Amino acid sequence: MSEDFAVLDVRPILKDGGEPFQAIMSAVSGLAPGQGLKLLATFRPQPLFNVMSNRGFDHTVTEIEGGDFEVCFTPKKTEEVKASNAATPDLWPNPALELDLTELPPPEPMVRILAAVENRKAGDVIFALLSREPIFLYPELTKRGHQWVGNFDEAGETFRIMIRTGEARGDATA
């Protein structure tokens, strides 16, 4: 793991009653590959841990003087799966369809992916590139009987998702 960290102190923003989320995401976007983020905050930012995990970061938390917190977000290994509802995606066939949806605004990527999976036969695999993690897509895919696995690329800028189509909704047995 890299010991190289960008430092972001959001304590002044928080003390002024502001919301630091945009500043944090901007700092994350500016990180070099392999670089971590050292965040200084007035509280333990629990909701941020899942957001950063989905962006490819582990975290460690240390309470510092005055009851403030130092959180070090460290990049995970690139090959590590970030999100999945699939048991064995390494056994899936090669993608039958590849989609680059990085230039589309939400919810268009989700709409196109759902249309694509409904038009494929069971067992087909679709690979898609997205500009952000499709958090709202996961429950829809699961509800419709599809499996998925995804993660961010090495730069943490493009989310890659593979979807294996399940049985048609009317034919599925639970």
**What structural domains and CATH numbers belong to the chain?**
5-75 (3.30.110.40), 83-164 (3.30.110.40)
How many residues in total does the chain contain? 174
- What's the predicted TM-score (pTM) here? 0.52
pLDDT the model gives residue 168: 57
**Phi, psi (rounded to 5 degrees) for 68:** -80, 170
Measured CA to CA, the distance from residue 93 to residue 80 in angstroms comes to: 20
pLDDT the model gives residue 78: 52
pLDDT the model gives residue 155: 77
Q: Which of 130, 138, 119, 150 is nearest to 54 (CA)?
A: 150
Measured CA to CA, the distance from residue 59 to residue 36 in angstroms comes to: 10
Q: Are 52 and 61 in contact (CB under 8 A)?
A: no
DSSP state of 78: T
pLDDT the model gives residue 51: 83
Segment-wise mean pLDDT, segments of 10 residues, the chain, 174 residues: 81 94 89 89 91 84 94 76 66 90 94 95 94 90 92 84 78 39
